[in-house]
Structure 1
């Protein structure tokens, strides 16, 4: 994924962080815009149509980061990386539930930031591309969970489920290899890329969010099950067919 031509909107009200992010991203070849309030962020999204949004959750004024996330997800597929403080765990989880694609906890390193940006942009760039050698339809034996890979649609029961690109790819990997235990490392690398592999805690956050959206009883998951110390497995076996 080449940085050239990619536009990133930084939404943060702290000038020192604005400067660091602008300098870091600009030096890596990105075109950077900065908003210091939720209201300004919404206006700049309309004006500049960014390829990615770095979004601080605690913003002054009428709209905070969660409001911006809700607004963006109603009309855009633009990747959103949430920036949150350690004390904002509930807000971070809420933002992921509303459609954020990734998160970084402050303070964070510039290398980690750039890696997350690259992964999100790469995933967004390939989201509409058909996946070779992948069945177009994946479904659980009982028919409760249904994934149309080509149309990127997921149903749980009679309800269509809105998943972020990250959640969609995580579920696709689990369903594709249903019945097989996928290790933390293999899932991280398959979904996020080769830069990942040791972030088991990070993976747990996304599995928890995915369960909340697709399981009948998220606290007692039937489909996405944990293999302690190893990884995750999708049960029961899924049916796979090509249209």
Structure 2
């Protein structure tokens, strides 16, 4: 069985080496990069199953690396950073990261998060009658195409992150059904470790902006106060 490859991008060599030792013990193939440009080049030229990215890196920071990667790839991304503010965490999630850990960290917890994200990612990418065999959803000018993981609004494509797509598809597949934040988090993030409620709310808020709900009378995502969220047909 092919070993899964993990890219560690961090300009602190000691930290990258420490993470690499623990991941290699788990059986993963580890690749390292010391700056953002090198990390992005590796993603473009090699098969990478998960990325661990520092934010403050030479040549290209972790935010920009993530933006560029999310234009083409869906693999899990974990930010590992000394930045501890809620703003930095939210920004990382909105850009397209799947997880955010702050330094100092415990290698055991990081490995647990890596394992959790890879289980979820590999499960979603197994050949099965899942999203790829379902027809597109269309309502109110909004078209959600699960085979291409593409969303258009009145013919114009909307750029959304993989997690935003999963949330939107989950809600749109069950119009009118109210999902609480715990259920949304469980369905989209699987068994990853997070403060689920805040994470879901951040992604819902960003989705609404991208769907231009503030400019349109029709609200695709309805808030049911004290309960959760539902999709309006």
Aligned residue-pair number: 229
* Gap change, CA 1:69 and 1:131, over 3 Å in 2: same
Are the aligned partners of 2:5 and 2:28 in contact in 1 as well (CA < 8 Å)? yes
Note the C-alpha offset of 1:49. Answer: 2.9
Please tell me whether residue 231 in structure 1 is matched to residue 228 in structure 2.
yes
SS in 2 for 1:86: coil
- Provide the rounded CA distance (Å) in 2 between the counterparts of 1:78 and 1:191: 14
Q: Which range moved further: 123-132 or 42-51?
A: 123-132
Q: Which range moved further: 158-167 or 68-77?
A: 68-77
* Equivalent residues in 2 for 1:208-223, closer than 5 Å: 208-217=205-214, 222-223=219-220
* Equivalent residues in 2 for 1:51-130, closer than 5 Å: 51-60=49-58, 62-84=59-81, 85-87=83-85, 89-90=87-88, 92-98=89-95, 100-107=96-103, 108-110=105-107, 112-125=109-122, 126-127=124-125, 129=127, 130=129
Are the aligned partners of 1:185 and 1:197 in contact in 2 as well (CA < 8 Å)? no
Are the aligned partners of 2:55 and 2:62 in contact in 1 as well (CA < 8 Å)? yes
The Cα RMSD (Å) is: 3.2
* Structure 1: gaps of 5 or more residues: 238-243
**TM-score computed with the length of structure 2 as normaliser:** 0.80
- Provide the rounded CA distance (Å) in 2 between the counterparts of 1:219 and 1:110: 46
- Provide the rounded CA distance (Å) in 2 between the counterparts of 1:80 and 1:165: 11
Equivalent in the alignment of 1:137: 136
Equivalent in the alignment of 2:3: 5
SS in 2 for 1:178: coil
Are the aligned partners of 1:12 and 1:55 in contact in 2 as well (CA < 8 Å)? yes
